[in-house]
Amino acid sequence: AKRVRVHHLRQAKERGEKITMLTAYDAVTAALFDAAGVDTLLVGDSIGNTMLGHATTLPVTLDDMLRAGRAVASAAPRSFVVVDLPFGTYEEGPAQALASAVRVMKETGASAVKLEGGRRSAAQIRAITDAGIPVVGHLGYTPQSENALGGPRVQGRGDEAAEELSQDALAVQEAGACAVVLEMVPREVSARITEFLAVPTIGIGAGPEVDGQVLVWTDMAGMTDWSPRFARRFAEVGRLLREAAQEYVADVRSGAFPTADHTFAQ
């Protein structure tokens, strides 16, 4: 199948077809999700929490993202691949943001970058899109600001906060973003933003009235004991994997593995 490209996202919104997104951080899962028909793969800086053992996304480096982005893009022939710009690689201004985005595009084969923030990041989004690089915005709960926001909390509650969020959404669109992720936003607010934006919204904990959905794959697949309230565990892959490992250990210890089938004769 042909690769999903930026105009397909806009088309999907116009046709009322939902856009699907999952995170991926390596070639194995990227190949599985691409084959499953997931439209867009997000190489999220959630790699910090999900894969690298950090407590937050803050320690994630551009090199971490470049390595993961390369793995995902090389294994996903069809999906639109988006790579997060991690904390500290775009806040200084448009020049820093552009330099980071250019490295992602040159070194990974991704289709777009994503960065957090509304009006505060508009100049960065403009500089990157002016260079011909698609940008996805990210509003609502933005994990790179977790120290300022006081941890994962719903954003845009109340008229004033909802208005601020709407202004941010407009600013991101006007700066040239091709889509906007809305994270932990009341459904009425994300519904309104989805209606007035021309570009698609992709929700996570933002209700059903958005143009697309994204989940962190380890939440979606039930890899860990805890998962956020807005996620659904579509499988219990963590349990399956633990059981497979337990069986392997038991069979090696008992001598049930390997058999002649797995053994080379002279």
Question: Which listed residue (14, 160, 183, 243) is catalytic?
Answer: 183
By rule CB under 6 A, what string of x and - marks binding of each residue 215-254 to ligand KIV? -x--------------------------------------
- Counting contacts by CB under 6 A, is residue 44 touching ligand KIV? yes
One DSSP character per residue, 208-255 reads: SSSSEEEE-HHHHTT-SS---TT---S--HHHHHHHHHHHHHHHHHHT
- Counting contacts by CB under 6 A, is residue 181 touching ligand KIV? yes
Task: Name the amino acid, one letter, at 9.
Answer: L
Three-class SS of residue 68?
helix
Binding site partner of 115, from Na ion, ligand KIV, none, Cβ cut-off 5-8 A by kind: none
227 is in an annotated binding site: no
Q: Are 25 and 68 in contact (CB under 8 A)?
A: yes
CB of 64 to ligand KIV, least distance (A): 12
Give the separation between CA 173 and CA 45, rounded to whole angstroms. Answer: 22
Q: Are 222 and 242 in contact (CB under 8 A)?
A: no
Question: Binding Na ion by CB under 5 A: which of 29, 30, 39, 44?
Answer: 44
Site for Na ion in 45-84 (CB under 5 A): 45, 84
CB of 23 to ligand KIV, least distance (A): 5
Binding site partner of 216, from Na ion, ligand KIV, none, Cβ cut-off 5-8 A by kind: ligand KIV
Which residues is 181 bridged to in the sheet? 138, 202
User: Catalytic positions, please?
Assistant: 183
